[in-house]
Amino acid sequence: EAQVTQNPRYLITVTGKKLTVTCSQNMNHEYMSWYRQDPGLGLRQIYYSMNVEVTDKGDVPEGYKVSRKEKRNFPLILESPSPNQTSLYFCASSLRGQGDTIYFGEGSWLTVV
Amino acid sequence: AQSVAQPEDQVNVAEGNPLTVKCTYSVSGNPYLFWYVQYPNRGLQFLLKYITGDNLVKGSYGFEAEFNKSQTSFHLKKPSALVSDSALYFCAVRDFPSGGYQKVTFGTGTKLQVIP
């Protein structure tokens, strides 16, 4: 089954403790991205990647890092999480860009206390 | 810079009535426009997209959307609403890439409530 898988789905962590949210897709997609969803703000793009070793900032990249060492994986790293990073995070992928449909993971609820 | 506006936070409609969820956009080039639906505690599911061609696009679950270039709008419509259509709907735009720029911008979402 074609899917985008992200883990963990739910996480409560403490301020400053590094964490990684993994994302993997099995559709051989070139384009991958991370979003955060906050009430009243919709989805905002954090980072995106157009292919292996090619990443770029989205609208809200501060406090986040990404890497794209393999085509299927695009982990999101929070080096020193803060409470304002409490949010619902989505990983997404598409074949390339332009008009290609974007497929989303189920989301990761992250709470930073 | 590209942008998307969904002017209504919530739309209420009676079951069986037609529904419209509004979306307007702003891009510098030719837009690729998408509608997604999000059910509680789930990811976003693709409904339909406009790339080029016919201005009326048909998608999943009986939804359709009309692309209007002069009004820069891409409103989502359904002739007869179902209670199961109640969800959060997002409009998104992807600008025609220039130099490989691949930003996708989403609206703030519109909650659709279908009343039995």
Q: What is the 3-state secondary structure (H, E, C) of chain A?
A: CCCEEEECCEEEECCCCCEEEEEEECCCCCEEEEEEEECCCEEEEEEEEEECCEEEECCCCCCCEECCCCCCECCEEECCCCHHHCEEEEEEEECCCCCCCCEECCCEEEEEC
Q: Are A83 and A13 in contact (CB under 8 A)?
A: no
Using a CB-CB distance cutoff of 8 angstroms, which residues of chain B are in contact with residue A74?
none
Between residues A96 and A30, the one the model is more confident about: A30
Mean pLDDT of chain A: 94
Instruction: For residue A8, say if its preceding peptide bond is cis, omega within 30 degrees of 0.
Output: yes
Cβ–Cβ below 8 Å for A101 and B109: no
Q: Of B32, B34, B107, which is closest to A42 when you measure between CB atoms?
A: B107
* pLDDT over 90, % of chain A: 82
Q: Of B49, B100, B104, which is closest to A45 when you measure between CB atoms?
A: B104
Cβ–Cβ below 8 Å for B49 and A42: no
* pLDDT over 90, % of chain B: 74
A–B interface: beta-carbon pairs under 8 A = 66
Report in angstroms the alpha-carbon separations of B5 from A50, A67, B92: 26, 31, 9
